[in-house]
Amino acid sequence: MSTPLEINSTIGTNILHEVAHHLPEDHINSQPLTLTDSSDSQYLALPGTVSDQTIEAVPYYEDLEDLGRKEEGTLYRLKPKGFRNTETYDQKEDVIVLEDRVVFKCYHEVDDKMNDDWIVRRIYFSHKEIRGLIRGFHFIKFHKSWVDLPSQGRPECFALAESNRHVAMALKSFKYMIFVKRKKGTGKVIPKYQKWYSYACAMAVQTCHVLQSAGSQYENDPRWMICESATDKSHSFVYEDNFHNPPSEPNTWTKLINAFLHYTYNLSNNQTLISSLDCDEHGQISNLLCYVRNSPPYHGRDDPKLATLIDRQFKLFEEQHVCNKICEMLGNVPF
């Protein structure tokens, strides 16, 4: 009868692993592996050593991934379309949606001091393919009230994504119009107008998609969330009932954003209003929401308070907006 294999603790647990790896399988199964302490006192205090313990094999399936904690879902991307000279945000448009199954990882919550009603976290996508489509860091956002709604925030998410899509298309039209107007009919580029055009070219609307989560480690999250490109610390140029909120310090984008709000409003024959807009110091625009005059969004179609809010915001915009030189150059119609 063979005796148990003894390994001196001075060798360490790594050698135990190597010996067990090279022993015949029948020997490992029939004889437990044990460790005995060395009589040499200098090795008795070595960290990580094991004394007179039997090493039991762990079944291979114990190391399989726990899918109950896996974060995965479907990402919905709204396909843009061509933009006409007169364009109203169409809430009833049958938008083409591109769907991608994704695996992701959420990280720490981002401190949003501007609004305590929203949760914002950093998110990382595991798929190489999807990382090629949505490059860079992203945030997931959701309103705290969505988790208690029967819809879990689905219509609210798509209303925000559609607003983002509309503003992104309007910004392209805005840039093109500045490009056309920079010569002011003289055939020569006016330096001041060229500078405005150069600044406008640096402005960009951050991508905004809808994420439906099939699994998350956060139990209090709604099923539907917004996935938006990460930005640096942004300033809210438009929020709630304030349509003229310039930053306290000089900002490259203040006049352009002010003119862009007016341009988009005129572009829709005064039917579409950007009621929320943030922009960071790099010209990255985010946190967008559009309203249509006398037409509440789908999720608020039966809410008279929302209809009243929309009507008031249209009136406040016309009262608060102050035209600037860019408005004049573009030919924005004064109120």
The helix (run of H) or strand (run of E) holding residue 311 is helix 304-320
Q: Does residue 65 form part of some domain? A: no
Q: Does residue 90 form part of some domain? A: yes
Question: In terms of pLDDT, which residue wins out, 26 or 228?
Answer: 228
* Number of compact structural domains in the chain: 1
Say what the pLDDT of residue 72 is. 84
**Per-residue DSSP letters for 100-157?**
EEEEEEEEEEPP-TT-TTEEEEEEEE--HHHHHHS-S-EEEEEEGGGGGSTTTTHHHH
CATH of the domain at 290: 3.20.200.10
Q: Does residue 149 form part of some domain? A: yes
Distance of CA 11 to the CA centre of its chain: 51
Q: Does residue 131 form part of some domain? A: yes
Q: Two tokens at 230?
A: 């990460």
Q: Does residue 31 form part of some domain? A: no
Model confidence at 104: pLDDT above 70 = yes
Question: In terms of pLDDT, which residue wins out, 334 or 22?
Answer: 334
Q: What secondary structure, in 3-state letters, does 200-248 show?
A: HHHCEECCEEEEEEEECCCCCCCCEEEEEECCCCEEEEEECCECCCCCC
Q: Does residue 241 form part of some domain? A: yes
Q: Does residue 240 form part of some domain? A: yes
Q: Two tokens at 94?
A: 């049958």
pTM over the 0.95 mark: no
Q: Does residue 77 form part of some domain? A: yes
Question: In terms of pLDDT, which residue wins out, 54 or 252?
Answer: 252
Region 102-111 average pLDDT: 80
Q: Which residue has the tokens 């490109």?
A: 229
Strands 204-205 and 284-292: parallel
Say what the pLDDT of residue 158 is. 94
For 182-197, give one letter per residue: b (16+ CB within 10 A) or e.
Answer: beeeeeeeeeebeebb
Say what the pLDDT of residue 199 is. 96
Cβ 204 vs Cβ 167: under 8 Å: no
Q: Which domain holds residue 310?
A: 73-330
